[in-house]
Homo-oligomer: A and B are copies of this chain.
Amino acid sequence: MSENKLRILTGDRPTGPLHLGHYVGSLQNRVILQNQGEYQQYILIADTQALTDHFSEPLKVQENILEVTMDYLAVGIDPNLSTICVQSLLTALPEITMYFLNLLTLNQIERNPTVKEEIKQKDFGNKIPVGFLIYPVSQAADITAFLADLVPVGADQIPMIEDTNFIVRKFNDMYGAGTLKECKAKVPEQFSRLIGIDGKAKMSKSLGNCIYLKSTSDELWTQVKQMYTDPNHIRVEDPGQIEGNVVFTYLDAFDENKQEVARLKDHYRQGGLGDMKIKKYLFEVLDNKFKGIRERRLELAADKAQIIKILKEGTLKANEVSQATLSKMKRAMKMFEFV
């Protein structure tokens, strides 16, 4: 049954617990796709990939595997419907990566604009770890190992998908038509990227501008209070600006009462609506929206054995699928085997 469903590969690097940016950018969409029932979804906790730029902190990466799993389950990922798995335990992936590395040139990798941009951001200078440089190839291995049809990514990640499909076509041309499957990028239409509470850049752990899914009410209020609004909106009666105002950006993202949001915007623009008031309103919206998730997460954290069991079952299943792909590839390549 699930064999005929379109397959989705998605996942996260476990470098910290997940935040509202993840929720808006991917988690809520995964739950929707899962519950539509049309897709077979694999969610990869990419610890090996996280090590490509966190290789000096493997313990942090390891500890966040359970954190991230709890976030998944808390937001509504159902292990009976979606498969959650740990990348470093899927031994087919590095094998597939090794074969793929022969099919791409150094120039092609260096040309990839996503990698270029990330290398610049990370300030590696002339010390680019080879593992980081080649992570698009390892990502191509992840995608093809699961024979994924769809890969939910931001628009900036499209070159990754193009590299993957280049490799797939080259593999199929060289070793056997139809062995591997090309995939499509699934780019969300809106809110693909949530701005951080400082208003400066996307929400990101390393920038310290995050609200975590597991934040308590008190933490949530502290973070909402710090939000960047309109720096020229000094007195309550002054007219305020909506554009670039993080509170309104978040209301657009999270408040389902669109009419009330429109009314508040008008009021704020005209003057007479204080920052503290709209922050309190946003706090209520967020607190209501994430209360259930936070509570479920607390319950989950109380039973680690159950989390581990879920991860183990998911990883076993993912191992079967990815090993089957590797076997198919090796047969196509006519690799040596003992019969």
Contact = CB atoms under 8 A, between A and B. Distances in A.
Contact of A335 (B56, B62, B174): B62
Most buried by B among A52, A59, A338: A338
Nearest to A66: B336
Contact of A334 (B56, B59, B137, B312): B59
A98 B133 contact: no
A336 B175 contact: no
A312 B335 contact: no
Given A105-B128, A128-B105, A130-B137, A51 B336 contact: no
A131 interface: yes
A47 interface: yes
A230 to B, nearest CB: 44
Nearest to A51: B102
B91 A95 contact: yes
Nearest to A315: B338
Interface in A31-88: 47-48, 51-52, 55-56, 58-59, 62, 65, 86, 88
Given A62-B335, A336-B65, A336-B88, A52 B129 contact: no
A245 to B, nearest CB: 41
Contact of A48 (B59, B98, B133): B98
Nearest to A334: B59
A101 B338 contact: no
A132 interface: yes
A338 to B, nearest CB: 5
Contact of A99 (B51, B95, B107): B51
A174 to B, nearest CB: 6
A317 to B, nearest CB: 14
Most buried by B among A105, A106, A132, A311: A106
Nearest to A171: B55
What 3 pairs between A and B have smallest CB-CB spacing? A101-B131, A102-B131, A94-B94
Given A58-B175, A89-B337, 11 more contacts: A58-B334, A62-B334, A62-B335, A89-B336, A91-B91, A91-B95, A97-B98, A102-B129, A104-B129, A105-B127, A107-B128
Interface of A: 47-48, 51-52, 55-56, 58-59, 62, 65, 86, 88-89, 91, 94-95, 97-99, 101-107, 109, 124, 126-134, 137-138, 174-175, 308, 311-312, 315, 330, 333-338
24 contacts: A48-B98, A52-B102, A55-B102, A58-B175, A58-B335, A59-B334, A62-B334, A62-B335, A89-B336, A91-B91, A94-B94, A94-B95, A97-B98, A98-B131, A98-B138, A102-B131, A103-B131, A105-B129, A105-B130, A106-B129, A107-B128, A109-B130, A130-B134, A134-B134
